[in-house]
Structure 1
Amino acid sequence: MPRQLDRMLKKVDAALAERTEVALRLPDLGFGPDGALRRELGGHTAVITIDGTAARLSFEQDGRELRSVPAAVRRDHKDAVKELRDLVKRVGAQLATLVRALEGGFPAGARHAFGWWRDRLVRHPVAGPTVRGLIWEVETAPGAWTAVLPAIGDLPDAPDDAAVRLWHPIGARGGDVRAWRDALVERGVRQPFKQAFREIYRLTPAEEEARTHSTRFAAHLVHYRRLFALFRARGWTSRLLGPWDGGAQDEAARVLAGEWRIRFAHVLAEVGPDDLAGTDRIRFDRRVAGAWRAAPLAEVPPVVFSEAMRDVDLFVSVTSIAADPDWTDDGPALAYWERARFGELDESARTRRDALARVLPRTKIADRCTLDGRFLVVRGELRTYKIHLGSANVLMEPDGAYLCVVSERRPAGRVFVPFEEERLSLILSKAFLLAADEKITDPSIRTQIERGAR
């Protein structure tokens, strides 16, 4: 029964994330204006604080934070501790729903009244840290929008009924985007989701010529089960492919802003222990008189087009076998892997490069790292390495040998990044590891490095 309830709650969370106006009505749950909830437990104080998009439980005594739950609290207040831990989970779930709702409001251009947004979101004890970490636009005069990041700046003067919306980089000038990216890194603001560093996608000449479809993300080989899981996680609908009638191909679909639908075709390419799928064309439909009609790409609003293509880019970059460092199968799949693992950078990889250009100079390995085209070049003591910014695969100089290295998803020590992304963390982790290659003790990695070192 608990598992069934958990699944039901997850479905409710997903539904709320699609209804922004509901997801934004968060209760304060007893948190104070400072964003903390305190409860006295004997001679100790339990404190729940909001840390980014998560809640954290700690214990204090005489104003000093303790490293763990005091033995007396565990013994005498067992039920209270359980209740507080459950509350931490509940807060985390509500913040996750809030983040999905805010990000999901991009295509529709969701707007709020300035007074309500200021009092019920920016100053909310639970939602506040998340909301303040995002860039917003306030209509301070008819047609005049002022961008603000509440975490580092004062709110503009505006009437309570003025419109407020999330800022999206596709409608901003390049200089403004760069300025916001610089500000995040300089002030140490980690956004709850990619916004200033958000990938944007505009129509290409090839798509303008094709008019009705895009092949920008076609002809990739992907891990199908991972792809299908991502469809579900991102709110897409799709039939499961497999070796049965009608299971050879499908079009995953997602509705954006109520009236637009994106369709992403994919086919089952290989059945086995690790099913593979091939990616194909992308098309858009528009809801007209209650029915879906095929729409030319040029008619799709820029934000809707960009957000839809961003999803597909995510699907391909995360599930492509090109990012699999251990791929060894023969045949066409191997040929694709060898071609794509060090290929041209997609939009997400270019954004990753831009983030690294700002983050690396602030690290202890700055003097050993250089960004060079598609690669982060890392100079170790034994060899020089080229980490591909798309796949995170590694080549070694001077012979261009491939280095198979499985590293932790987070770099050693504390490295600030303006957004959470597994691939970015993986690249940084490998960079820190290889910059100190003389200290590597893993024999499988060490042997590869020393085999051709000069």
Structure 2
Amino acid sequence: MQPILQEILTQSALYDTQYYELKLAGISTYQAIGNPTPAFKGRLALATAEAIQASWAPNQHTPYTTRAVLEALLQQLLRSALELTPDQFTRLFHLYGFDFEKKAGGLGGAFTRAPILLSLAQAEKFKKKHGLNEELMNYFTQLLEAAKKFDAGYGTTTIAKIRAKLEGMLEVKEAGALPTVRFPTGDALGRELNAFATALPAGTDATLPWLQLLQLWQKASGAQPTAKFNKEATAAVKNIGVEQVQEQAQQWLTLLVELTVEVKHRSHEYGNGTTYDYTEYHFLHEPSLNAAKGMVWTVAPLADSGMHQALADLAAKCHQKIPGQGPLAAGLGNACLLALSQGGLPGVAHLSRLRLKVRQTNTQELIGRYIEKVSQELGVTPAEIEDMAVPAGDLTDGRAEYHYGDYRATLQLRTGKAELQWQKAGKDLKAAPAALKQSHAAELKELKFQQTQAQQTFTTQRDRLDRSFVEERRMPFAWFRQYYLEHGLMSQLVKPLIWRFHYPDGSYHDALWLDAAWRDAHSQPIPGPTDDAQVQLWHPVLVSTEAVLAWRELLEQHQLRQPLKQAYREVYLLTPPEERTGTYSNRMAAHILKQHQFNSLAKLRGWKYSLLGAYDKGYESESAKLKLPRLGYQAEFWVNEVNADNAWNDTGIWNYVSTDQVRFTRTTDFDPIPLREVPPLVFSEVMRDVDLFVGVASVGNDPAWQDNGGLPAFRDYWHSYSFGELSEVAKTRKAVLERLVPRLKIGKVSEVQDKFLVVRGKLRSYKIHLGSGNILMSPNDQYLCIVPDNSKRNNAHDVFLPFEGDAVLSIIISKALLLADDDKITDTTITSQIGRGR
């Protein structure tokens, strides 16, 4: 066979064939054989295995490409119909390194390097035709015992499959024996599964099905379950019992959700004296990941509400971003998403929340496809099915009561928080009574679940509403009443917001629910909307400035805090420079953004963006894109990498990007769309998003950026942004502060002047920029660096604000309250700057 092998290698090199492109039918030497018999191909497989073994000899220096072609050839032969005798099978495995008479240990590499599974598949075919003689049975028993010694480290998934296949072949001889199931011991799930398998009592009806199910989970290495997997899993669950599988799986899911990701800091020293520091994140070994994935696939059709919550929590955990690595465990996370997609409306509710939470664009798109698929099955739109899926829990009008003997617990949504209050005999308690933790442990656990779900759902739906402005969605009033106004949870979001009711005759009313009636901006009741009305979320771009001011006055008069910025929402109208450029806007150009922060914020707002790296691309610009499917448009925000002072991180990602133009293109041909043709509401919302990206991610917003070094070439930008002209967001902030500051305790020593909130302290005067929140001190505009401490209570929380979500506004108020009493400041990092404590 050696001349044939040499010809194959020669022709492979002659035609520059890559090893993964090798096709036996395309090799003329092989074709010349005519119709090779299975026995001939068996001999050729043995010769190929001999050649591979010889190539590893120390004195051979065999090129990698030669060995790769030989390995590809052997795999093709083993996938074809070939014949080997029992002696030849033994010889083949000896060539792989399994000569047990000569070699007792060190076989892990042989298990993963050689095509063992393909060879065992040939042995299974041989067994069906001829059976296995005693010599071959004994040999495979030795091979199985060797495989059982490897339960951790690289290749354990492959070795687990080898064990299962060997056990399947040897079961005939060991009639009645239970299969051996082993998982890696290097992680908590592997140890738990091993303990569970070991503790299964022999002789019970469920023991064999459990072991078969655990073996099946070990094989779950694909992206989706096969029909064969589902069939075998269903049969095993039926034999074990649905409730038993549910109960045990819930425990293992809880374990995975609560399992700490182990962080290990490593350091490697190279021979040239340099040191490379890196971090490892350990969650599960590959076999345990596969087992977890198999478990998730199995319980998908069995999941109840508690399991749905665990699957959603595990999906979020698995898709959390690990620096330099990507998602923690994308395969397992995707299995959870698949399971949730099979969970009806409760599953869709969790998918809707996860789509706003995960940061990977491909995962967001996968969730979107799952939601769309379920919506098509029910004959509704994706937006409608997300409405239908919102859980109310036990809430009625945002409130639920629970009674436990003499104690009463009240769960209530207040200003975006799901709060739990306890009472006994009408007297308020600070926390859950200790006595109940023993007598009502299960009920308190369920109550905690209800509180967590209410909080998560409220936050998710608030963010979904905030992102929905750009869609200009309208819905029938009957739908709005059922899934929004009268919904136990959504009603708390709906009632503080302004809505526009469109009628068939073209007229409309703008109204807010107040004092049990729909009222206009002047608190006057309007006729109740009829079922033929269409409901749209009101936007200030739709009305005059006077109407916007009237709504703001109403909010302040009744101390109504909106869950998202609406009456005070920024409006971006087309400017003369944009009318002249025609198809693009430079309004947000020439800013320096922290790229990772920009990336996270863009994805949070539904934009698609890929981090720019210093290692590839081949072009110098990229863009974040927002799809606008109703119009057939997409918005594009162009950015460029900032290549200054090697400004990239350890993984080669640029730390900063500079901003460029905003434009709209058609999704069909990508032709630019004149800005004047873009609906004003859509244009305003897109520009607001971009302004938000700049307002949050700009280095000018970081009070410590300049002091920490920053980029010397862009220090002028930092100063000009930190104390420069106000953006639309900052102008809205200014309008709020002009009305708010005179009513605060600092009103006598503070006032809004141009771009600043000026505070006269006891020692100095301070100018707080309304855009960045950065501070200048009189008399010489000396910079004062105060870095907010998010771990401490913000004084601004006690101040009424007409909307939620503007962190910089809260920071400005907190800084003003602090500096008004600058003689009482004890923080030395501040007192040293203002001239105290020297």
Shift of 1:35: 2.9
- Confirm or deny: 8 A CA contact 2:416 2:563 kept in the other structure: yes
- 1:249-290 per-position Cα deviation (integer Å, ceiling 9, x unaligned): 311101125322111111110423581111111110134xx4
* Other structure's SS at 1:56 match: strand
Match of 1:204 among 556, 575, 589: 575
- Confirm or deny: 8 A CA contact 2:596 2:611 kept in the other structure: no
1:192 aligns with 2:563: yes
Match of 1:170 among 541, 550, 555: 541
Task: Give the match for residue 353 of structure 1.
Answer: 734
Task: Give the match for residue 398 of structure 1.
Answer: 779
Task: Give the match for residue 92 of structure 2.
Answer: none
* Other structure's SS at 1:272 match: coil
The letter of the residue matching 1:355 is V
1:79 aligns with 2:442: yes
- Confirm or deny: 8 A CA contact 2:797 2:810 kept in the other structure: no
Q: Distance in 1 between matches of 2:719 and 2:570?
A: 26
Q: Distance in 2 between matches of 1:11 and 1:204?
A: 39
1:145 aligns with 2:145: no
Unpaired runs of 5+ residues, structure 1, are none
* Other structure's SS at 2:488 match: coil
- 1:53-110 per-position Cα deviation (integer Å, ceiling 9, x unaligned): 3322222212333111111122222222222112212122222232233223222221
- Confirm or deny: 8 A CA contact 1:23 1:97 kept in the other structure: no
Match of 2:680 among 277, 283, 302: 302
- Confirm or deny: 8 A CA contact 1:345 1:374 kept in the other structure: yes
Q: Distance in 2 between matches of 1:184 and 1:257?
A: 34
Q: Distance in 1 between matches of 2:837 and 2:677?
A: 54
- Confirm or deny: 8 A CA contact 2:775 2:783 kept in the other structure: yes
Q: Distance in 2 between matches of 1:60 and 1:231?
A: 44
Change (3 A) 1:358 1:24: farther
- Name the % identity: 38
Task: Give the match for residue 623 of structure 2.
Answer: 251
* TM-score, normalised with respect to structure 2: 0.51
Q: Distance in 1 between matches of 2:818 and 2:585?
A: 39
1:411 aligns with 2:775: no
Q: Distance in 2 between matches of 1:183 and 1:430?
A: 28
- Give aligned pairs, total: 450
Greater length-normalized contact order (CA 8 Å, ≥ 6 residues apart):
1
- Confirm or deny: 8 A CA contact 1:407 1:429 kept in the other structure: no
Shift of 1:153: 6.5
* Other structure's SS at 1:150 match: strand
- Confirm or deny: 8 A CA contact 1:408 1:429 kept in the other structure: no
Task: Give the match for residue 75 of structure 2.
Answer: none
Task: Give the match for residue 261 of structure 1.
Answer: 634
- 1:123-182 per-position Cα deviation (integer Å, ceiling 9, x unaligned): 322111110010011235722221111145722323221122111100111011011112
- Confirm or deny: 8 A CA contact 2:504 2:532 kept in the other structure: no
- Confirm or deny: 8 A CA contact 2:392 2:454 kept in the other structure: no
Q: Distance in 2 between matches of 1:412 and 1:418?
A: 13
Q: Distance in 1 between matches of 2:566 and 2:819?
A: 30
Shift of 1:29: 1.8
1:221 aligns with 2:606: no
Shift of 1:452: 13
Task: Give the match for residue 285 of structure 1.
Answer: 665
The letter of the residue matching 2:655 is D
Match of 1:327 among 705, 714, 722: 705
Change (3 A) 1:413 1:170: closer
The letter of the residue matching 2:730 is A
Task: Give the match for residue 12 of structure 2.
Answer: none
The letter of the residue matching 1:431 is A
1:98 aligns with 2:461: yes
* Other structure's SS at 1:371 match: strand
Deviates more, 1:143-152 or 1:6-15: 6-15
- Confirm or deny: 8 A CA contact 2:352 2:460 kept in the other structure: no
Shift of 1:122: 1.7
1:89 aligns with 2:452: yes
Change (3 A) 1:108 1:408: same
- Confirm or deny: 8 A CA contact 1:23 1:98 kept in the other structure: no
Shift of 1:324: 0.9
Task: Give the match for residue 28 of structure 1.
Answer: 392
Shift of 1:46: 2.0
- Confirm or deny: 8 A CA contact 2:421 2:428 kept in the other structure: yes
The letter of the residue matching 1:61 is K
- Confirm or deny: 8 A CA contact 2:761 2:820 kept in the other structure: yes
Shift of 1:451: 6.8
Change (3 A) 1:198 1:452: farther
Change (3 A) 1:124 1:63: farther
Change (3 A) 1:147 1:412: closer
Shift of 1:310: 0.6
Match of 1:276 among 631, 656, 662: 656
Shift of 1:292: 3.5
Task: Give the match for residue 344 of structure 1.
Answer: 725
- 1:334-383 per-position Cα deviation (integer Å, ceiling 9, x unaligned): 12112221010000000111111222222111111111110001111111
Q: Distance in 2 between matches of 1:27 and 1:203?
A: 40
- Confirm or deny: 8 A CA contact 1:257 1:304 kept in the other structure: no
1:450 aligns with 2:835: yes
Q: Distance in 1 between matches of 2:656 and 2:731?
A: 26
- 1:311-348 per-position Cα deviation (integer Å, ceiling 9, x unaligned): 10000110101111112325212121122210100000
Change (3 A) 1:153 1:305: farther
Deviates more, 1:424-433 or 1:76-85: 76-85
* Other structure's SS at 2:418 match: strand
Deviates more, 1:391-400 or 1:92-101: 92-101
- 1:221-267 per-position Cα deviation (integer Å, ceiling 9, x unaligned): 11111011112111111122111110753111011253221111111
* Other structure's SS at 2:500 match: strand
* Other structure's SS at 2:430 match: coil
The letter of the residue matching 1:130 is L
Shift of 1:386: 0.5
Q: Distance in 1 between matches of 2:560 and 2:401?
A: 26
* TM-score, normalised with respect to structure 1: 0.93
1:436 aligns with 2:828: no
- Confirm or deny: 8 A CA contact 1:217 1:279 kept in the other structure: yes
Q: Distance in 2 between matches of 1:417 and 1:430?
A: 16
- Confirm or deny: 8 A CA contact 1:133 1:189 kept in the other structure: yes
1:426 aligns with 2:814: no
Unpaired runs of 5+ residues, structure 2, are 1-255, 258-312, 320-336, 341-349, 356-367, 373-380, 519-526
Shift of 1:52: 3.1
Change (3 A) 1:77 1:225: same
Shift of 1:304: 0.7
- Confirm or deny: 8 A CA contact 2:352 2:386 kept in the other structure: no
Deviates more, 1:187-196 or 1:353-362: 353-362
* Other structure's SS at 2:456 match: helix
The letter of the residue matching 2:685 is E
The letter of the residue matching 1:305 is F
The letter of the residue matching 2:496 is G
Change (3 A) 1:123 1:4: closer
